[in-house]
Structure 1
């Protein structure tokens, strides 16, 4: 009996998918981007501003395996099971 598990990964950098097994399907979700604008100097030059951004990339992984192999596969990817 095979079990299918769906995992959503979100990270600030690109996750490494080279180590995934061939029976794992990866679906990319839209990337979210937040831009923060900060004054460079709080006392003078109110027009002088600096912008920072954070990008969060999300992916959905469909892992298909037998029940007793599923725990081994998740720990081999480096994920901890709670």
Structure 2
């Protein structure tokens, strides 16, 4: 578990390695990054994914909505082509 951090976590400040991570970049483009970070924070706090089901479900729902919108956009483009 992590120790107390009076300032909280600063998600906007990332290391060079994190900025180059393709998975992080993909998640940022989906608009679901806050949900992803909530899952990570819960896992860091509890070290047990079963205690983070609310955060996991919220991230899953966000990604599902993003996929739906992406598919609708692709279908619309195909009709216009």
TM-score range normalised by the length of the shorter chain: under 0.3
The structure whose RCO (Cα within 8 Å, separation 6+) is larger is 1
Structure number with greater Rg is 1
- Give the structure-2-normalised TM-score: 0.23
